[in-house]
Structures are given as C-alpha cells and as structure tokens.
Amino acid sequence: MATTNVEAQDWLKSEDSKEYFELLKFQSVGADPDRLGDSARCATWLKKWLEKTGAEAELATKDFAPPVLFAEFKAEEGAPSVLFYGHYDVQPPDPLDQWLTPPFEPTLKGDRVYARGAQDDKGQLFAFLCGVREFVADNPGRINLKVILEGQEESGSTALSKLLPELKSKLAADVLLVCDSGAAAGLRPAIVAGLRGVSHFTVKLTAANRDLHSGEYGGIAPNAAQGMAELVSSLHNPDGSIAVFGFRDGIEPPSHEELRTAEATAPDESALRDDIGCEPVGGQLGRTIVQRNGFEPTIEINGIHSGYGGPGSKTVIPCEAIAKISMRLVPGQNPERAFAAVREHLENRVPRGMKMEISELTGGAAGFRLPLASPLFRLAEDVLGEMDDRGAVFYWNGASIPIVSALREISGAAPLLVGWGQSEDRIHSPNESFSVAQFARAKEWALKILGSLA
C-alpha cells in the first residue's frame, strides 16, 4: 500500500493530519517529572478532542503522575461494549544530536511524518480515534465504546495500575482493542497472539568516596566501572542463556501449533540483518529467532554509566557505576519471583570493596498468550482479509504493553491487539516516523472492526 508524495500532500490538508500534528507537539515524556505539565496539557487536549467528538470524558491521576483519561461514547441499552486502550506518553528523545528534524516539531518528508511519538503510540492511537470519530458520527448508539488513555506506558503504568480498582465498573467490556503493535513486513496485517511481560530497575555500585587518580590510587582502590562490567556480565552464560538460578521457573513453553504458526511467518534473517545493521545473534545459541523473540525471556542491559566519557582522556578510577536493566518475561513466569532471583544473583556477586543499591523497580507485568481458536481472532481474520487480500498472520510479540494483562482481568474483555507499526518507524530511536499509509490503515481498521463488533 504505497503512498505517493501527492497523496501525502493532500492528506496534510486534512483535519486528521492537522490535529495529529498538534498532538505530536506535546512533549509528553511520562517518565520525566520535569515534563509533567506537558503530559497534563496533552491529556487535556485529548479530553477536549473526545468531548468534541461526542464522548463524555474525565481525567484522573495518582501521586502527581501524568493523568489517566477515561471517555465513553454511550449507546442504546443492550449494545455491545468495547474498550479501547492507548497511551499518549512517549520515549525521551535522546540523543538529540542524532535527530534530523526537531523531535517535537512534526515534519512530513516524502510520505512519512517524523517526530517522537509519530508511531508509538500517538500515531496509532490518534489514527484509530479518527476512525472512531467517523464511526460514531455515522452509527450513533450502535456500540458502547469506552476509551482509556494513559501517560506512563513507557515507564510502568503506575498511575493507571493504582486507579484500576476505582475504574473497574466503568471498564467492563466485551472486547479490549489495542492499536500499539506492528504489522508484518510490507504492512501485511498481523494479530498479536501473545506479549511478553516486562520489569525494569536500576543498579548502582559505589566504591570510593570520589573519583580517584588512576596513578596515585591504581592497584589500591576498587574500580566501580570494572565492577559493574563484571556484575552485569554474570547474568548470562557464554552461550547467551540466562545464568540466574530460578529466573526461568514456571515457564510455559509454546504448544506445537503456536510454534508452527509462528515459524511459518518468521522474519527473514537477512532482512533483520539489514534492519539492525549487525548479525541477529542475541539470545541463546541453538534457538530460532522466533523462539528467542516470542517465546523466551530476556535480561537486557539498557545502559551503563560510569566515570569519564567526554573527549580525550581523564585518568580516573570511577567511584560509582549505574546500570539500567530490563527483563522481558514469558507466560508462567511470576514477575516478583523473577526479580527476586535476579536480585539474589546480583547480591551474591557484589564486587569486593563495593556496595550495591537497587532502585526504580517498575513494571512487574506478566506475559500472556491468547488461544488461536478464539472466535474474536476468527472475526479479526475476516475483517483484515477484507482490508488486504494477503490475509492476516499471527505473531507472538517480543515487546510488552504492561497494563494489558491487568486491563484484561479487570474489564473481563477479550483482548484483540492489531497494529500497523513497521521496523522503519524506528520507535524508541531518533528519527521516529509513521507513514501516511500506516495512518490510513489504522483508521480503516478502527472503522471496520467497530462495524463488525456493533
């Protein structure tokens, strides 16, 4: 589904695009306390937009966090009830020097809009809501549509998690729709049959009371940077498998049908190599790409910071080191037990002469898989088959949307995750973008799936 530059320029004149650009300008980095005001203004903008579209909407928050927005398009008694979830927070734009255009000044180049959040999740969320606007205008009262939008998905969904008990009666629904995932290559429709859970935390090692001269104190003072390198490297065995005792306890392996279905549409290794710019050799040796990404847990080092990193040299022995670590969890793993196993592993290996502190534990969401025989999946396959004659594929996403499991449980709704992301969108990286064609697909999906559920 290619889009010409002429079509992109025509789209740029539409109401959808103008409002989308307004939304992208909010610097709603939910994990940054200094941008709480930006998040609040973004949530307020969305509230007013939904009210103008015909919904009743309200904002709520907990502990000075970005607001949670609940809205409802009420329908006639007995109408089906659908809950739509999305998030308006975005990843930090760093490193700023790698952006070709300002991250919060959306720019159309060719057929793609470049901005932080252009795809994840403002692009997908807003395109879906544009479809909602058209649907409710043409079909008033046919479906009871509830919308829950949050500003902390990228950092653990803390406020929404705390608000869920208060919102329980409002969130009851038959179906939970999420548009925050990817399509297959070439924008072929894909239905997410499972997500990994996630948890992340910070590890700090402290040695001396200050950075020390590496000549005067070399061979005497312990080096926090070296200690952190040793500590984090202990998390994995030489074959890439996880070395933490008890971390894998309880894992539920995929069924033969799930594995066969996933492998049938496995990504091409050479295409992956071109995409990421190196060999796709992460994870455990002897496991396929599908197994490593969709069905196996991971422990990843997101960043290590210690000592001097500027130009030239500064010959010091660092007094402290910090590592950011995340875990992706699969069904059967208990997030609390998995973290406890990692904590014990690290505590037992603190380097000599150093102290360790673990903080900022967030997430704690479990992974899940959905039954392939679900009637909702059959409906989605039919709808997506109408949109694309190649039909839909199923995949087990290695990423996480931490709150989905909790929303699924508290709403009683059957989840359906269909999104339109592509690898070239570069989410979480500089120069994130979303194409006009992807925006159109997400909007069309909203119209068609709501029409099928009504």
CATH number of the domain residue 214 falls in: 3.30.70.360
Domain residues for the domain of 68 are: 5-195+367-453
Are residues 138 and 238 part of one domain? no
* Claim to verify: residue 307 and residue 320 sit in the same structural domain: yes
% of residues, the chain, pLDDT over 90: 90
Residue 209: inside a domain, yes or no?
yes
CATH number at residue 87: 3.40.630.10
Structural domain contains residue 279 = no
CA–CA separation, 302 and 281 (whole Å): 17
Query: Stretch 117-136: mean pLDDT, rounded?
Result: 98
- Do 98 and 29 lie in one domain? The reply is yes
Q: Which residue has the higher pLDDT, 226 or 364?
A: 226
pLDDT over 80 at 46, yes or no: yes
Residue 378 belongs to a domain: yes
Burial code (b: 16+ CB inside 10 Å, e: under 16) for 163-192 equals: bbeebeeebebbbbbbbbbbbbeebebbbb
For residues 128 and 184, what is the distance between their CA atoms, to the nearest angstrom?
18
- Whether residues 358 and 375 share a domain: the answer is no
Q: Are 179 and 86 in contact (CB under 8 A)?
A: yes
In a domain, 376, yes or no: yes
Mean model confidence pLDDT for the chain: 95
pTM value surpassing 0.85:
yes
Beta-ladder partners of 81: 144
Per-residue pLDDT tens digits for 111-125: 999 999 999 999 999
Ranking 232-241, 277-286, 393-402, 427-436 by mean pLDDT, the lowest is 393-402
Final residue in a domain of this structure, among 309, 334, 365: 365
Which of 313, 338, 365 finishes a domain?
365
At residue 232, the pLDDT reads: 98
Q: Which of 346, 365, 384 is the last residue before a domain boundary?
A: 365
Number of domains in the chain: 2
- Judgement on whether residues 81 and 166 belong to the same structural domain of the protein: yes
pLDDT for position 169? 94
Query: Rounded mean pLDDT of 149-176?
Result: 95
| For range 19-26, the mean pLDDT | 98
CA distance 164 to 408: 11
- Which of 316, 323, 326, 315 lies closest to 350, judged by CA? 323
pLDDT, mean of residues 223-239: 98
225 and 137 within one domain = no
Please give the Cα distance from 62 to 161 (Å, whole number): 10
What pLDDT band is residue 61 in, cutting at 50, 70 and 90?
A: very high
How far apart CA 156 and CA 160 sit, in angstroms, is 9
Nearest to 157 by CA among 408, 417, 415, 403: 403
How many whole angstroms separate alpha carbon 274 and alpha carbon 419?
Answer: 23
pLDDT band at 156 (very low <50, low <70, confident <90, very high): confident
- Whether 278 is covered by a domain: the verdict is no
pLDDT tens-digit series, residues 285-342 = 999 999 999 999 999 999 999 999 999 999 999 999 999 999 999 999 999 999 999 9
Instruction: Please tell me the predicted confidence (pLDDT) of residue 2.
Output: 67
Residue 178 C-beta-side C-alpha neighbours within 13 Å: 27
Look at residue 274 and tell me if it is in a domain.
no
Do residue 25 and residue 149 come from a single domain? Answer: yes
Confidence of residue 37 (pLDDT cuts 50, 70, 90): very high
Mean pLDDT confidence for 361-378: 90
Read off the pLDDT of each residue in 8-29 and give the average, rounded to a whole number: 95
How much of the chain, in percent, has pLDDT values that exceed 70? Answer: 99
**313 and 429, same domain (yes or no):** no
The predicted structure's pLDDT at residue 271: 87
pLDDT given for residue 1 in this prediction: 61
Q: Do 211 and 158 share a domain, yes or no? A: no
Q: How far, in whole angstroms, is CA 215 from its chain's centroid?
A: 45
Weakest-pLDDT range from 233-247, 256-270, 301-315, 384-398 = 256-270
User: What mean pLDDT is predicted for residues 11-25?
Assistant: 96
Q: Is residue 187 part of a domain?
A: yes
Are 127 and 174 part of one and the same domain? yes
Q: 330 and 428, same structural domain?
A: no
pLDDT at site 76: 87
pLDDT mean over 188-207: 95
- Position 190 in a domain: yes
Does 380 lie in the same domain as 346? no
- Tokens encoding 338: 């998995």
